[in-house]
Structure 1
Amino acid sequence: MSWVEAHGTGWRGGYRDPDGRTRHTGTFKTKRAAKAAGDDAEGKIRAGKWIDPTAGKVTFATYFETIWYPNRGGELNTRKTYLSHYRTVLGPRFGAKELRRILPSDVQAWVADMGREGVKPSTIKARVKALQTVLAAKKGASAMRDGLIERNPVEGVQLPTVVEDEPGVYTPAQVDQIIAAMDPWWRPIPLLAKETGLRWGELMGLTVASFELGFRTVTARRTIVETSKAESGNGTRFVWKDYPKGKRARTVGIRPAAARLVAELVAERELGPSDRLFSMPDPTLPADWHPPLTLIWTPKRTDVWDSGLPVSRAFYRTGVWIPAVQSIGLPYLKPHALRGSHISWLLAGGADLPTVMERAGHREFDTTRRYIGRMPDADQRALDALDKAMDQW
Structure 2
Amino acid sequence: MGYLEIRTGRNGRVTYRARYRDIHGRLQTAGTYTNEREADRAWQRAENLSGAARIGDPRRGRVKFGKYIEETWFPNHVIEASTRENYRYTLDAYILPELGDMRIGEILPNDIREWIVTLQGPDYRLNPPTIRVCKVIVDAIFTTAFNDHVTIIHPGKGVKTPPLASRPKEIITAEQFDEIYRALPNDFMRLLVETDIESGLRWGELTELRAKDLNSRTGMLTVSRAVVQLTAKDRPDNQNFVVKEYPKDREWRRFRIASHLADKLAAHITAANLGPDDLLFTMPVQRTARRNRPAVLPDPESLGRTEPNAKDRTYLHGTCSAYTAGKCRCQFCRDAMATYRAERRATNKDSPRTPRTVATDGHIGRGWFRNAIWIPTLSKVNLGFNFTPHGLRHAHASWLLNGGADLQVVKERLGHASITTTEKYLHTLPTADETALDALDAVRRPTREASPSAPNTATATELAELHELRQTLAKVRQLHEALGLKP
TM range (shorter): 0.7 to 0.9
Is 1:203 equivalent to 2:203 in the alignment? no
TM-superposed deviation, 1:55:
1.7
* Structure 2 counterparts to residues 134-173 of structure 1, below 5 A: 134-136=141-143, 142-173=144-175
Is 1:315 equivalent to 2:368 in the alignment? yes
Counterpart CA distance in 2 for 1:386 and 1:356 is: 30
Counterpart CA distance in 2 for 1:210 and 1:268 is: 17
Which of the residues 204, 221, 226 maps onto 2:229? 226
Task: Name the structure 2 match of 1:86.
Answer: 91
TM-superposed deviation, 1:361:
0.9
Counterpart CA distance in 1 for 2:438 and 2:397 is: 21
TM-superposed deviation, 1:377:
0.9
Task: Name the structure 1 match of 2:140.
Answer: 133
Which of the residues 378, 381, 391 maps onto 1:325? 378
Counterpart CA distance in 2 for 1:285 and 1:264 is: 29
Deviations 1:274-331 (A, max 9, x none): 111111112479889xxxxx74155x8xxxx4xxx11111111111111101112223
Secondary structure at 2:180's aligned position in 1?
helix
Which amino acid is the alignment partner of residue 409 of structure 2?
A: T
Which of the residues 42, 59, 62 maps onto 1:54? 59
Is 1:362 equivalent to 2:416 in the alignment? yes
Secondary structure at 1:186's aligned position in 2?
helix
TM-superposed deviation, 1:231:
3.6
Q: Residue 99 of structure 1 contacts residue 149 of structure 1 at CA under 8 Å; is this kept in 2?
A: yes
Which amino acid is the alignment partner of residue 250 of structure 1?
A: R
Q: Residue 215 of structure 1 contacts residue 263 of structure 1 at CA under 8 Å; is this kept in 2?
A: no
Is 1:296 equivalent to 2:360 in the alignment? no
* Structure 2 counterparts to residues 331-350 of structure 1, below 5 A: 331-350=385-404
Counterpart CA distance in 2 for 1:232 and 1:50 is: 34
Q: Residue 170 of structure 1 contacts residue 341 of structure 1 at CA under 8 Å; is this kept in 2?
A: yes
Counterpart CA distance in 1 for 2:276 and 2:439 is: 46
* Structure 2 counterparts to residues 90-105 of structure 1, below 5 A: 90-105=95-110
TM-superposed deviation, 1:159:
2.5
TM-superposed deviation, 1:213:
4.3
TM-superposed deviation, 1:121:
2.4
> What TM-score do the two structures reach when normalised by structure 1?
0.76
CA RMSD in angstroms comes to: 2.6
Higher relative CO (CA 8 A, sep ≥ 6), structure 1 or 2? 1
Deviations 1:314-362 (A, max 9, x none): 1111111111011122232111000000000011111121111111111
Task: Name the structure 1 match of 2:190.
Answer: 187
* Structure 2 counterparts to residues 237-252 of structure 1, below 5 A: 237-252=240-255
Structure 1: runs of 5 or more not aligned: 1-18, 20-48, 137-141, 289-293, 389-393
TM-superposed deviation, 1:113:
3.0
Is 1:178 equivalent to 2:185 in the alignment? no
* Structure 2 counterparts to residues 249-260 of structure 1, below 5 A: 249-260=252-263
Q: Residue 58 of structure 1 contacts residue 98 of structure 1 at CA under 8 Å; is this kept in 2?
A: yes
TM-superposed deviation, 1:385:
7.7
Assess, with a 3 A threshold, how the Cα gap between structure 1 residues 273 and 130 changes in structure 2: closer, same or farther: same
Q: Residue 216 of structure 2 contacts residue 263 of structure 2 at CA under 8 Å; is this kept in 1?
A: no
Counterpart CA distance in 1 for 2:212 and 2:249 is: 21
Secondary structure at 1:144's aligned position in 2?
helix
Task: Name the structure 1 match of 2:45.
Answer: none
* Structure 2 counterparts to residues 32-43 of structure 1, below 5 A: none
Counterpart CA distance in 2 for 1:122 and 1:201 is: 23
Deviations 1:88-121 (A, max 9, x none): 1011111111111211100011223334555332
Of structures 1 and 2, the larger Rg is shown by 2
Which amino acid is the alignment partner of residue 92 of structure 1?
A: P
TM-superposed deviation, 1:62:
1.1
Secondary structure at 2:189's aligned position in 1?
coil
TM-superposed deviation, 1:144:
2.1
Q: Residue 288 of structure 2 contacts residue 356 of structure 2 at CA under 8 Å; is this kept in 1?
A: no
Task: Name the structure 2 match of 1:77.
Answer: 82
Secondary structure at 1:329's aligned position in 2?
coil
Q: Residue 211 of structure 1 contacts residue 218 of structure 1 at CA under 8 Å; is this kept in 2?
A: yes
Secondary structure at 1:239's aligned position in 2?
strand
TM-superposed deviation, 1:379:
0.8
Aligned residues: 323
Assess, with a 3 A threshold, how the Cα gap between structure 1 residues 60 and 287 changes in structure 2: closer, same or farther: same
Which of the residues 277, 295, 298 maps onto 1:274? 277
TM-superposed deviation, 1:145:
3.0
Question: After TM superposition, where is structure 1 displaced by more than 6 Å over at least 4 residues in a row?
Answer: 284-288, 385-388
% identical equivalent positions: 32
Counterpart CA distance in 2 for 1:225 and 1:110 is: 32
Task: Name the structure 2 match of 1:119.
Answer: 126
Task: Name the structure 2 match of 1:377.
Answer: 431
